[in-house]
Amino acid sequence: MTNPTTIIKSRHMKELPVPDAYTALAAINGINAPIRQWQSRDYLAALYHDRNGHTRLSINRIQRDKRTNEWKDGITWDELQRIKQETLGNVWAVEIYPPEPDLVNIHNIRHLWILPQPPTYAWHNKEQA
């Protein structure tokens, strides 16, 4: 993701280039590099495609907790929705809450999986239905 010391004063997400070094480092470590990334004064967001064809938007705060040095927690639903809208527009996304044995929670990063079409279980605005 972007270097968090990059100074962006806007509260709106601004797309930034993905450095070639990220792609090279990801290849060395056998992980996926972000294909796009954005930053605002408060958040970082990176878009990934995984090996199975899924697309994920990962979002975290820029600020770190002074005690733990982890990314600060507490991103609200409204903030996630705004960041998704500013980065990818009108797309459907879901957040996953796995069973405890499959839980991976090593950083305060929120992950939205981008859906190729609206899920059948989703609510729709009455004017659009």
Beta bridge partners of 78: none
pLDDT of amino acid 112: 98
Given a cut of 80, whether residue 129 has pLDDT beyond it is no
In the chain, pLDDT over 90 holds for what percent of residues? 57
pLDDT of amino acid 41: 94
- Average pLDDT, stretch 52-69? 92
pLDDT tier, 6 (very low <50, low <70, confident <90, very high otherwise): low
Rounded to the nearest integer, the mean pLDDT of the chain is: 87
What does pTM read for this prediction?
0.82
- Listed in sequence order, the DSSP H helices in the chain are 20-29, 77-88
- Average pLDDT, stretch 31-50? 92
Given a cut of 70, whether residue 128 has pLDDT beyond it is no
pLDDT in tens, 16-29: 998 887 777 776 76
pLDDT in tens, 66-119: 998 888 999 999 999 999 999 999 999 999 999 999 988 878 899 999 999 999
User: Helix/strand/coil (H, E, C) string of 55-121?
Assistant: EEEEEEECCECCCCCCECCCCCHHHHHHHHHHHHCCCEEECCCCCHHHCCCCCCCEEEEEECCCCCC
Antiparallel, parallel or unpaired: β 14-16 and 43-49: unpaired
Identity at 94, one-letter amino acid code: V
